[in-house]
Amino acid sequence: GAVVSQHPSRVICKSGTSVKIECRSLDFQATTMFWYRQFPKQSLMLMATSNEGSKATYEQGVEKDKFLINHASLTLSTLTVTSAHPEDSSFYICSAYTGARGIGDTQYFGPGTRLTVL
């Protein structure tokens, strides 16, 4: 149980185009999903927190107009990188939170999406 998928797993695009990444919780409902960015040999950097039916909360320094997040249902969140540039090339990982308020509830992670902007 608690499987999270991401699509696509790898995408290459030209500078200036937009790219959409999907994150799905396959066997549970996720009230909250998170989007992370990871640079080589580094830890995960939280970009934004997405709650179903409401606007995403972005971390300081993350451009909300560039990284559009939509959490339309309890099993799907999307991240759209608008007008992508080479510096947006990175490994993007989503996670889905299984529980309501409580101790020990867990984030489950997707397999990641490798974005390369040429």
State the Cα–Cα distance between residues 73 and 51, nearest whole angstrom.
9
State the Cα–Cα distance between residues 109 and 33, nearest whole angstrom.
9
Q: Does 103 bind another protein (CB under 8 A)?
A: yes
Q: Considering CB under 8 A, how many residues would be counted as binding another protein?
A: 27
Window 6-35: contact mask with another protein (x via CB under 8 A) = x-------------------------x-x-
Q: Does 111 bind another protein (CB under 8 A)?
A: yes
Structure tokens at 61: 């320094």
State the Cα–Cα distance between residues 19 and 92, nearest whole angstrom.
12
Q: Does 1 bind another protein (CB under 8 A)?
A: no
User: Do residues 26 and 32 touch, judged by C-beta distance below 8 A?
Assistant: no
Distances (CA, A) of 89 to 29, 69, 108: 30, 17, 23
Among 8, 17, 27, 46, binds another protein (CB under 8 A): 46
Least distance from C-beta 83 to another protein, angstroms? 26
Among 73, 114, 116, 118, binds another protein (CB under 8 A): 114
User: Do residues 48 and 69 touch, judged by C-beta distance below 8 A?
Assistant: yes
Q: Does 62 bind another protein (CB under 8 A)?
A: no
Q: Name the site residues for another protein (rule: CB under 8 A).
A: 4, 6, 32, 34, 41-44, 46, 49, 93, 95, 97, 99, 101-112, 114
